[in-house]
């Protein structure tokens, strides 16, 4: 709104010039004009400008949500000194491992939130090996960063029954999983029955897989281990044609066979098998059994997948489904076995020794 007060109104050309100046000033904005001494005051009547959104401080980015637990942990032990280190490798969904969902690279603050949620000092996990619960694992921290893009490794104490030895690799589960009391795992030896059935079963599986030279297969690994509820031990074996587990890659076509077998009414029968035929030109896939962990409703058996350059964990769920196979494969970004086997990692200060379970 414009207000004009006029005193001593001019006349003639002076009036025209004065009126023109007043008009131009008035169009530039709101004004109070006093004539009589030519006193002029300008004021803009329009509302104050609204700041653009770009001028406002940017909102903080939403935090990356943490994965839902419980988690599956790989546990490494230096049996000679009782030192233990654990690292999460997967989430458990109805007893089956699935991707850990650890972002790459982890955003600022994510590692600290993850460790606080799942690896706080005093967190107790179930500790399993060969399909049995053998005790508990108590995380004792502080976390160690072995790789900037991978989860932290956590020093821990293994609480096992007196006389129970912790294997080099075992598995932690939880927290928030409920099982019965720990057991002292039974021992099992490769006996003549296993030595007899092993090559017979290997030949059958090789022929079924389309290998025309089963007689060339060489046994690379043969292990026996107890199976809960079975009178006789189970066995796991790896047979190879024109290849070796730790040697250089094959120069021509090659075949690998892995199987886990249980003793039944008619002898040993394969419960899980993986056969691969490959050319040898940079291709390789060999499996060796590593261990097992009890999970709600069954057990998880783990094997190591060797491709000549890296080793990755794979797992299969024990079930009544005759088509049992690989249910989960560890991501290539963070091979847990290789990270935990870095020289000096287990012997670094701060690791806690194992202790008998209460």
| CA dist., res. 250 & res. 272, Å (int) | 25
Once rounded to an integer, what is the mean pLDDT over residues 188-201? 96
- Res. 355: pLDDT tops 70: no
| CA dist., res. 318 & res. 323, Å (int) | 11
pLDDT tens-digit profile of 65-81?
Answer: 999 989 999 999 986 56
Once rounded to an integer, what is the mean pLDDT over residues 74-95? 88
CA distances from 210 to 272, 276, 277, 281, 305 (A): 17, 10, 9, 20, 21
Using a 10 angstrom Cβ sphere, with 0-12 exposed, 13-18 middle and 19 or more buried, the burial of residue 269 is middle
- Res. 351: pLDDT tops 60: no
Q: Which of the pair, 99 or 345, is modelled with greater confidence?
A: 99
- Res. 352: pLDDT tops 60: no
pLDDT tens-digit profile of 32-76?
Answer: 444 454 454 555 555 666 555 444 444 446 789 999 989 999 999
- Res. 21: pLDDT tops 60: no
Residue that has been written with the tokens 């030109």 in this structure = 281
- Res. 348: pLDDT tops 80: no
pLDDT tens-digit profile of 237-252?
Answer: 999 999 999 888 888 8
- Res. 83: pLDDT tops 90: no
Once rounded to an integer, what is the mean pLDDT over residues 280-304? 89
At 286 the pLDDT is 96
The two structure tokens encoding residue 237: 């074996």
Q: Which of the pair, 143 or 279, is modelled with greater confidence?
A: 143
Q: Compute the mean pLDDT over every residue in the chain, rounded to the nearest whole number.
A: 82
Report the relative pairing of strands 355-356 and 218-225 from DSSP bridges. unpaired
Band (pLDDT 50/70/90 cuts) for residue 345 is low
């Amino acid at each position: 709104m414009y207000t004009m007060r006029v005193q001593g109104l001019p006349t003639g050309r002076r009036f025209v010039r004065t009126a023109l100046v007043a008009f131009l000033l008035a169009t530039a904005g709101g004004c109070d004009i006093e004539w009589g001494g030519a006193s002029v005051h300008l004021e803009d009547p329009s509302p104050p400008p609204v700041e653009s959104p770009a001028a406002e401080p940017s909102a903080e980015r939403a935090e990356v949500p943490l994965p839902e637990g419980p988690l599956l942990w790989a546990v490494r032990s230096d049996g000679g000194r009782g030192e233990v280190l654990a690292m999460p490798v997967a989430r458990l969904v109805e007893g089956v491992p699935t991707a850990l969902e650890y972002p790459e690279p982890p955003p600022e603050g994510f590692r600290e939130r993850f460790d606080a949620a799942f690896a706080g000092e005093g967190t107790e996990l179930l500790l399993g090996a060969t399909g049995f619960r053998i005790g508990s694992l108590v995380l004792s921290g502080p976390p160690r960063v072995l790789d900037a893009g991978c989860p932290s490794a956590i020093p821990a104490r293994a609480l096992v029954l007196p006389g129970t030895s912790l294997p080099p690799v075992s598995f932690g589960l939880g927290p928030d999983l409920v099982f019965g009391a720990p057991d002292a795992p039974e021992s099992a030896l490769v006996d003549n029955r296993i030595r007899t059935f092993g090559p017979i079963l290997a030949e059958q599986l090789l022929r079924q897989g389309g290998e025309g030279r089963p007689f060339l297969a060489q046994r690379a690994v043969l292990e026996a281990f107890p199976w809960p509820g079975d009178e006789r031990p189970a066995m796991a074996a790896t047979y190879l044609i024109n290849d070796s587990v730790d040697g250089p890659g094959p120069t021509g076509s090659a075949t690998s066979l892995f199987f886990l077998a249980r003793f039944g009414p008619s002898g040993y029968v394969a419960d899980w098998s993986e056969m691969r035929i490959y050319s040898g030109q940079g291709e390789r896939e060999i499996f060796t059994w590593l261990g097992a962990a009890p999970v709600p409703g069954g057990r998880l058996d783990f094997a190591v997948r060797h491709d000549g350059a890296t080793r990755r964990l794979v797992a299969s769920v024990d079930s009544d489904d005759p088509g049992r196979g690989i249910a989960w494969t560890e991501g290539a970004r963070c091979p847990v076995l290789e990270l935990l086997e870095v020289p000096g990692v287990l012997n670094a200060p701060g690791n806690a020794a194992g202790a008998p379970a209460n």
